[in-house]
């Protein structure tokens, strides 16, 4: 299950693909992990006071879809313009929906990282594996 860190970056996404992937992430996580608490973080470009950025928030996978929907509906997160991060465990999965319009996935849980990468919400998203230098 857990091994070496894996990292993938997508190309710049157009036509709502990034938003579709973001909105599809909660269903995948809930199906694979059940009802657990993960971390969600508003980062660069999110429409919030600076003091509220970069502060990980605990969100249950049962509520993550509503959390993301509300963030999009309120304009806090704008796909392709703001960074929104979802983290599972310490090194299991880190998914960054980037302000540059691409998606970054990394983690040591190969099944989780690869599963999200090929899940229904990510259909049509092409990823490139990024080499990670060992320290």
Residue 36 has pLDDT above 80, yes or no: yes
Which phi-psi region, left, alpha or beta, contains residue 75 (left: φ > 0; alpha: ψ -120 to 50)?
A: left
Q: What pLDDT is recorded for position 72?
A: 98
Q: How far apart are CA 123 and CA 20, in angstroms?
A: 9
* Residue among 109, 105, 110 at smallest CA distance from 122: 105
Task: Give residue-wise pLDDT tens across range 81-104.
Answer: 999 999 999 899 999 999 999 999
């Amino acid at each position: 299950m857990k091994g070496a860190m894996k990292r993938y970056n997508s190309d710049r996404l157009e036509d709502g693909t990034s938003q579709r992937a973001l909105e599809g992430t909660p269903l995948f996580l809930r199906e694979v992990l059940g009802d657990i608490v993960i971390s969600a973080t508003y980062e660069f470009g999110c429409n919030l006071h600076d003091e509220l950025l970069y502060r990980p928030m605990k969100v249950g996978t049962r509520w993550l879809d509503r959390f993301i929907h509300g963030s999009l509906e309120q304009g806090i997160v704008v796909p392709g313009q703001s960074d929104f991060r979802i983290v599972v465990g310490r090194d299991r999965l880190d998914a960054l929906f980037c302000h540059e319009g691409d998606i970054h996935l990394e983690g040591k849980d190969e099944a989780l990282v690869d599963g999200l990468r090929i899940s229904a919400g990510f259909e049509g998203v092409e990823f490139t594996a990024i080499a990670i230098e060992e320290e």
